[in-house]
Each structure stands twice: as C-alpha cells, then as structure tokens.
Structure 1
Amino acid sequence: MFAASGIVPRGLSEVTHMTAPATTTDAPTLTPAGLKTSERGSRASMVQKVVSKGGIEAWLVEDYAVPLVAVEFAFKGGASQDPAGKPGAANLLAGLIDEGAGPYDAEAFHRALDEDAIELSFSADRDILSGRLQTLSRNSSQAFSLLRLAVNEARLEAEPFERVLSQIAAGLKSEANEPDYVAGRTFREKAFPGHPYGLPVRGDLSALPTLTRGDLVELRGKIFARDTLKIAVVGAIDAATLAGHLDDVFGPLPQASHIAPVADALLSGEGDRFVVDIDVPQSTIRFGRQGLARMDPDFIASMVVNHVLGGGVFSARLFREVREKRGLAYSVYSQLITYDHGSMLYGGTSTKNERAAESMTVIAGEIASLSEQGPTEEELEKAKKYLIGSYALRFDTSTKIASQLLHLQTDGFGVDYLDERNRLIAAVTMEDAKRAAKRLFGDAKLLVAVAGRPEGM
C-alpha cells in the first residue's frame, strides 16, 4: 500500500518494459541522486525481470558501487486474513518468523544473523505480509540460507511466542491512553465497521490472549505461497546468482495460496463526529472521507489536488490556513490511502481543546473550497513541480529502491511506472484537477474522530 504515493491507475500503464539480464560488466549503477536513468532517460530500463528455473520472478537492479544486497518481498494476505475475532494474528506471526527456524532456536538464529551482520525482519500490513533482508555481498549465501529457513521452517516455539506476545501487549497498554493512538483507532473503527480494515493490525488486549500457535500455523499455510509472491532485489548480485537463490528460498513453498476473499469497503460515517474523552490539554483529531481507488483514472489528478490541500509542504492550504494564519496547530496534513479493497482521504492535526472546533471548521472550509472551485493555476503548478521534483528522493538508497519496486508490484503495476509517473503528473490539466477535486472532496462532509476534551464538538 502507498500513502499519497500517486500510483498510476493500471489502465494508464499496462505495457511492462522488460530487459535482458545484465552482466556484471554492463550492470547499471545507483548514484547518490537516486535510480540513474539510462541514456534514453528511462528508469524502467534499469530494472531486470529475473525468472528462476522454477518460475519465481523478481525485479532486480544491479549495483556494485557498494558491496550490499537488499531484498524485499511480500505475500498477499496480511492482517485482512486474521482469524475471525482474533485481530493481531498476522502481526504476531511476522514477529515470530525470525525467532528460530530449522536447526536454530531463537537465540542461535539471531546469533547466526549477528555473526555475519545480516539484517532480517518481517512485518504485517492490512493487505500483505512482507520481509526484508540486507546483507554484505560476501555473506549473501549465508543470508539467503537463513532466509530460506525462516520462510519455510520457522519454529514458532512457545518461549518466543509468549515473549513476542507480551511485547505486543505491553506496547498496546502503553498506548491505550495516548491521544494519537486513540484517535486513529477510533477513526478506523468508525470508517470500516465490520470490515478487516476497521480492526487493529496489532490486535487488542482482549483478543491477544486467545491467539494460539495453531492459529499462526494455519495463517502461514494460507498466506505463504508462490502465486502472490512479489520480490525486489537491489545491490551487488547478478541475475544468474539471484535466480538460484530464488529457487532455494521460495521454491519449497506451495504454488497456490488460500487467502479468503476480502469485500470491497466504502468509508462510513461521513458527517459524523466521535469524541473519546481523555483528560489532556490538546485534542488530537483525525478526519477523512471516501477516496478514489488506485486504479481510478482520476487518481493521479486527485493526488495533485490533495497535495494542494495538505500535502505536507509550506504551500499547502491547510498548513497556511491552520498554522500560519491562525496559529491553531503546529502540524496538519492530509493524504490519500489506498488498500486493495478500499481507499480514503485521511488527515489529522492536534490543537488546544478550546480551538478544536475552530480548527475543524477551517479544515472543512478549505476542503469545500477546493471541491467547489478547484486549485488556482499557481497552486496546481507548484504541486506538480514539487511532486515531480521530489520523486528521485524515493530512490537514493538501495533499501528505498527495493521498497519502491516491491510496492509497485504488490499494488499491481508494471516497471514502466518508473518512467510514466512524472509524465502523468505533468499532464494533469486544470480541468482534470477540478474534476478530481469535485470527486475527492464532494460535499466536504468528514468523518471525524477526536481524542481529548474538545470544546464545541
């Protein structure tokens, strides 16, 4: 999932550029400025599609400037596949995969990682369960060997099970009365009632004790399979060597996953406000409304107009109106969030209790203004220029590049997006922006969740 990333709708970018595997001598390199473009100005041509003998595919960018290899991979599923009534299962599973595997117990597995300075971690999001590996190239064989054990033979033993479960519970307890956590959780519960997207990824204190090792084994069996697997690799490794590792690590997995279908979700509660009483001097506010799907033809334009609204820069309307002109809050933002089965405009701020109502009035007013009138010519051009110019910052390290390439794959897009993205933003016209603003902001009614003691709300 990308938050406010501007992923191009699939229908606008269907042709995937493919290149022959590069050799060590002609491999493209990464520069401090980001993913270097080829002589014809193409980032996409730098990415090789490597397919192993066993049919496992990965996107590879070779880089021998630094002797590192970064790997990111993901399976579809994630927290949306948690057992009924047991949120947090996928997150717990992710926390246990590297806690002992094959012949190694948890302590021995971590010692093996540490001895060769190998970084390995797993995480769960709403739609995916992902893994990340980073290693020195000279230790890559050992790193891929340990990864193979974790993916295929994770022990999920009692001691680490209880330890990791306790760590998650301790984190939830510490956050139970934190306004940011309470406002965010309340918003999601009201936005997606009765849907997996409305449940907490890390679970809750009432459900965590009901989770069992059997739940995790069953969940792993549903998710870990080759048909939804996506892989991105960046660094000092050639295509032939990588292909061998792909079969070794992922070849033993079953071909087909057994993930349950997830219903498409529309955001609920637009126009409603919910307040959770917490005795603090400031109110933490989360607001939102239905967004556009990542495959919608107007998504690129909606990303541009959202940047005008609250894209995290000084020129954004919310920053200017809420912070600079009125001093209501130190920070305020809006973003577009897209899931596989839902999307939303989402934003937030924190302000004094006595000014919470005023803050929401200003925010809603700016959303209504953009819906009715669209951005100005100056706002549109500034937003496009910023979004185009800042894109290279997502590719200035090998781990960032691998992460971006993985997200493109899990969201269903071709490598050609690397070239198309900025062209599509540049092509957004005022007519496009006004149409997208009308669709995105609509009647300006917002679902609002507040943690604190807001006056007038």
Structure 2
Amino acid sequence: MTTLLAMRFKTLASAATLMLALVFLVLPAVVARAEVRIQEVKSDKGITAWLVEDYSVPIIAVKFLFDGGSTQDPVGKEGLANLMTGLFDEGAGDLDSDAFQIKLDEAGAEMGFNEGNDAVGGGMRMLAERQDEAFELLKLAVEKPRFDQAPLDRIRSQIVNGIVAGARVPETQAARKWAEAIYGTHPYARPDMGTEKSLATITADDLRAFHKANFARENIHVAVVGAIDAETLKKRLDQVFGALPEKAELRPVERVEPRLGQTMHIEYPLPQTSLQLVYPGVPREAPDFLAAALMEHILGGGTFSSRLFDEVREKRGLAYSISSALINQEHSSSLIIGTATRSDRAAETLGVIREVIRKMAEEGPTAAELDAAKKYMLGAYAINNLDSSGAIAGTLVDLQTDKLGIDYMQRRIELINAVTLDDVKAAAHKLLSVDPAIMILGPNFGESKG
C-alpha cells in the first residue's frame, strides 16, 4: 500500500497554532538525522501502536488507519466514506461544529481525516504540553462524531460542486471510464467521491451505521512520533480508541486483477494526447516485489534517469515527462505507465514506449542500471519517508498495513542488496511480456497536424 494519509488539515489562526507551525519548520531537519528507534506499545485494551520517541521539539504526531475505506460503501451510496471524513471535525460529543473548532484552536492542534479505497485514515499534530485537551478532542471525533444535518448538507454540497466541476474535465471523466474498464463491477471501479445521485441518498443514520461497522479496535493501525513515552501512550490509546467496538463488520471484498489486453480510445479535441498503459503488478508481500520495484525504477520510476525518460524525452523530445509506478492496493496490483504528448505524435510515442518495454521484457536491465537503482532506493528512503514526524508516522502505519514487520527498516538494506540481476530480469519478463491495457485520451491518431 502506498502511503495512503494525505491529510487535509484546517488552517488555524491562534498563537498556539502559529507556534506549532514554526516548530514544525525545524523538526524535519532534526528527525532526518536521527536514527529511528521503533517501540511496539500495547495498551491494556489490546490496542497496538508503533512509537518513536523524540523530545527534540515538544510535538506529538499521531496517525492511524481503519481498514475498510470506500470499498465498504453500500451500493447506491457511493461516496459515504469520503463524506464521513469531512465531518469528524464538524462536531463531536457535546460540541457542535463551531464549539469543536474553537476547542481545537484553543488546544493548538491540527486534525484531519481522509479516505482511500481500502482504509479511512486520520491524524493529529499537537503540542505536548496541550496533549490533554488535544487527545480528548481526538477521542470525541473518533468515538462520538455527531453528523449534524447542517454540516452534513454543507460538506455534501462542497463534494457535489467538485463532482459537477470534474464532469467538465476530460481527464476526470476518462479516469472514471478507465476504472470501469479495468476493474469491471469491482468496488475499485466506483467513484470514491460518489455521484450527485448517490450522495443525495446518504443520511446521518447511514453515516452512523458506517462508522459503527468500520471503526473498531481489531482493524486499526496506529503510529505515534514525538514527545511522549510508552507508558503515557498506552493510556492515550485506550482513551482515544478503547471504547470502540472490538470487532469490525466489514463486507468481504474479492481480489481483482486488471483487465489487460484492451485499448480504450476516448476521443476529445485536445492539443495533447494522454497515454496510459497498465501491466500486471506484484503484491507487496510477494517474494519478488523488490526485484519488480528495482525493475520499475529502471524502466520509468527514475525521474530523470529511466529508460523511458531517456528514449521518449531526451532522445526524441516527444513528451515533457513520462513515468511508471507500481500500484499496490489491498485487493489488486498493477504497473502503470503514463505520459502526454502532442496529438500528432501520439502514435510515434506509443510505439517508442512499447519498444522500450519489449526490450526490457526480453533482455532485462544491465548490471550498471541495477547497481544505480539499488543506490537510489537505499539513499532516497530516508528523504522520502523519514523527513518529518508526520512522515515517519505515516511510514510506520504503511509498514503495519503491509505487514512488513517492525524491524523492516533495519532489514531493508540487506533485502535490497540481496536482489540479483537474474531476479530483476525474471520480474521484467513476468510483468512486461503481456499485452497491456491502453487508454488513449485525445484526437484520433493523425487528426492533429503540427
């Protein structure tokens, strides 16, 4: 699972919040130089969290995920999980929306929630000296959200406005059709924001039922970084999450493989044509995942050093950028390549891409390419994942959901170095020697003249 928590934090204007923001400007440099020592903390009620103590600044960052996400939206009520995440700070317990926001501001804390296909996530950043107030507000939001009608209608209206605006954007509509073509009737094909029709059917009772079914102690993953010790954290875990039901009531979701071997051409009079190719992926827990990840980096993951960038951008000037990515969701995996080019050169660009892929599938990378990819993956990890308390907390949650183990950061170097050239060649042949799914958004090839 890719890092799932792109938190939508509200802007707060109090002096305490200003202090919090200033402290965070200093924190990344401090944390990035420190060795990450992870403790497993288990509360009296059985809630487990991974903790990194750091007293260099008086800040505590908390991040958590509840398994489930938009795949749990009932049919006909798509967008339910997404709507719910916009309402956690719009009133909880005895506090209505305004009162809750005032308390949050006074506590000098930032809180946010978001949803993905496979999880609903949340997080809070707080001053250590104000943690009593902050954790109590987080407890109310997690345990007793109000879902009052006025904020429900307001947040729903904001989402609908976004959907209406998206309907006028070709790329947005193409992505919707593409998801349906790739995933068929699987929940991954549904719009996680919902539709105007589905959102109109959602009631406060629907939100309460979803919250009760999805927010439970057994399906939560928690990480905490900052100025808090293990014994204190044990009490905070039970304070925030201890009153939730023990068991979740999640609907089963089947695994789905992308429907390959198809080409979808969505004609639209654009000056550029967008191209997307989908190949099989590798589950994160698979033994050959790191071999596939190294191969993908050499193919298109390296921003300025990949084969695709070299052939498409540097040698021919066909596109400004081109990239690839291994996408791992709970119930599906894929390798995706994407670019945009002048419409009159789209056929040429697609041909170059497929030739690069064919050569990689048949021959694999060189030893020099693999060595460079290993050095990048080893060196970039801390920069991309450990440069702030929030980033560390998010990384720890990802490691939990991917079931990689609390010692993964220590084992990772050895695991990457153990990957051989033959391993990477085998991964290239396995993933790329198939007929991909291709989406083309733009005019028919040859229609546009330069």
CA distance in 2, matches of 1:278, 1:116: 51
Q: What secondary structure, in the 3-state scheme, does the structure 2 residue paired with 1:217 have?
A: helix
Structure 1's consecutive aligned runs of 4 or more residues displaced over 3 angstroms after TM superposition are 29-33
CA contact (8 A) 1:71 1:132 kept: yes
Aligned partner of 1:271 in structure 2 is: 261
Question: 1:240-279, aligned counterparts within 5 Å?
Answer: 240-268=231-259, 270-279=260-269
Asked if the contact 2:3–2:395 (Cα under 8 Å) also holds between the matched residues in 1, the reply is: no
Task: Give the partner amino acid of 1:332.
Answer: I
- In the TM superposition, residue 315 of structure 1 has moved relative to its aligned partner by 1.1
- CA distance in 1: counterparts of 2:33 and 2:230, whole angstroms: 18
Matched, 1:164 2:162: no
CA distance in 2: counterparts of 1:52 and 1:365, whole angstroms: 55
In 1: Cα distance, 2:203 partner to 2:252 partner: 23
Deviation at 1:332, TM superposition (A): 0.9
**Aligned equivalent of 1:119:** 110
For residues 358 and 205 of structure 1, the distance between their equivalents in structure 2, rounded to whole angstroms, comes to 39
- How far off is 1:284 after superposition? 2.1
**For residues 282-325 of structure 1, what are the alpha-carbon distances to aligned partners after superposition, in whole Å with 9 as ceiling and x for unaligned?**
12222212211111111110000000111042110111111111
From 410, 416, 419, the counterpart of 1:428: 419
1:325 aligns with 2:323: no
CA distance in 1: counterparts of 2:87 and 2:297, whole angstroms: 38
Offset, 1:116:
2.4
Taking structure 1 as reference, are residues 357 and 210 closer, same or farther at Cα in structure 2, changes over 3 Å only? farther
SS in 2 for 1:206: helix
Q: When you count helix as a share of all residues, which structure comes out higher?
A: 2
C-alpha RMSD over aligned residues: 1.8
User: CA 1:181 to 1:397, structure 2 compared with 1: closer, same or farther past 3 Å?
Assistant: same
In 2, Cα distance between the equivalents of 1:238 and 1:31?
A: 22
From 279, 284, 292, the counterpart of 1:294: 284
**Does residue 105 of structure 1 match 2:96?**
yes
Q: Which residue of 202, 218, 224 corresponds with 1:211?
A: 202
- Residues in 1 aligned to 2:203 and 2:343: alpha-carbon distance in whole angstroms: 42
* Correspondence list, 1:187-198, <5 A: 187-198=178-189
- Structure 2, unpaired ranges of 5+: 5-26
State the partner residue of 1:150: 141
> Paired residue for 2:16?
none
Contact 1:30 1:65 in 2 (8 A): no
- 1:386 lines up with 2:384 in the alignment: no
Q: Summarize the alignment of residues 297-376 of structure 1 with structure 2, pairs less than 5 Å apart.
A: 297-376=287-366
Q: 1:442 to 1:426 in 2, by over 3 A?
A: same
Encode CA deviations 1:408-442: one digit per residue, 9 max, x unaligned: 11222211111122221111111101111111112
In 2, Cα distance between the equivalents of 1:377 and 1:32?
36
AA matched with 1:279: P
Identify which of 105, 127, 139 aligns with 1:136: 127
For the Cα contact (< 8 Å) 1:73–1:130, is it kept in 2?
Answer: yes
Give, in whole Å, the separation in 1 of the partners of 2:352 and 2:176: 24
Does the 8 Å contact 1:285/1:450 carry over to 2?
A: yes
- Structure 1 residue 51, shift from structure 2 partner: 1.1
Shift of 1:35: 6.4
Q: Give, in angstroms, the shift of residue 456 of structure 1.
A: 5.1
Give the equivalent residue in structure 1 for 2:23.
none
How many aligned residue pairs are there? Answer: 424
Q: 2-side partners of 1:122 and 1:454: how far apart?
A: 42
Distance 2:28 2:322 in 1: 35
Q: CA deviation at 1:207?
A: 2.2
Contact 1:77 1:126 in 2 (8 A): yes
Match of 1:23 in 2: none
TM-score by length of 2: 0.91
Moved more, 417-426 or 72-81: 417-426
The letter of the residue matching 1:215 is D
Partner of 1:36: 34
**CA distance in 1: counterparts of 2:131 and 2:158, whole angstroms:** 31
1:401 aligns with 2:392: yes
Query: In structure 2, what is the Cα distance between the partners aligned to 1:174 and 1:341?
Result: 30
In the alignment, structure 1 segments of 5+ residues that lack a partner are: 5-28, 38-42
Paired letter, 1:252: A
Q: Does 1:200 align with 2:191?
A: yes
SS at match of 2:247: coil
* Distance of 2:33 and 2:208 partners within structure 1: 39
Question: What whole-Å deviation, never above 9, does each CA across 1:311-359 have from its counterpart, x for those lacking one?
Answer: 0421101111111111111111110011111100112111111122222
Aligned with 1:259: secondary structure? coil
**Separation in 1 of the partners of 2:133 and 2:33?**
28
Of structures 1 and 2, the one with the larger relative CO (CA 8 A, separation 6+) is: 1
**Pairwise CA distance, 1:367:** 1.4
Equivalent position of 2:87 in the other structure: 96
Equivalent-residue separation in structure 1 for 2:275 and 2:150 (angstroms)? 39
Distance 1:179 1:358, change over 3 A: farther
The letter of the residue matching 2:343 is N
For the 8 Å contact 2:30–2:56, the answer to whether it is kept is: no
Give the secondary structure class of the aligned counterpart of 2:179. helix
Correspondence for 1:173: 164
The alpha-carbon distance between structure 1 residues 125 and 32, as it changes in their structure 2 partners (threshold 3 A), is: same
Q: How does the TM-score come out when normalised to structure 1?
A: 0.89
Give the 3 Å change call, closer, same or farther, for CA 224–320 of structure 1 in structure 2. same
Q: Distance in 1 between matches of 2:208 and 2:3?
A: 31
1:48 Cα shift? 0.8
Give the secondary structure class of the aligned counterpart of 1:333: strand
- Conserved in 1, the CA contact under 8 Å of 2:31 and 2:389? no
Q: Is the partner of 1:260 in helix, strand or coil?
A: coil
Give 1:13's aligned residue: none
> What percent of counterpart residues are identical?
43
Q: Is the 8 A contact 1:187 1:448 kept in 2?
A: no
Instruction: Quote the Cα distance in structure 1 between the aligned partners of 2:96 and 2:179.
Output: 38
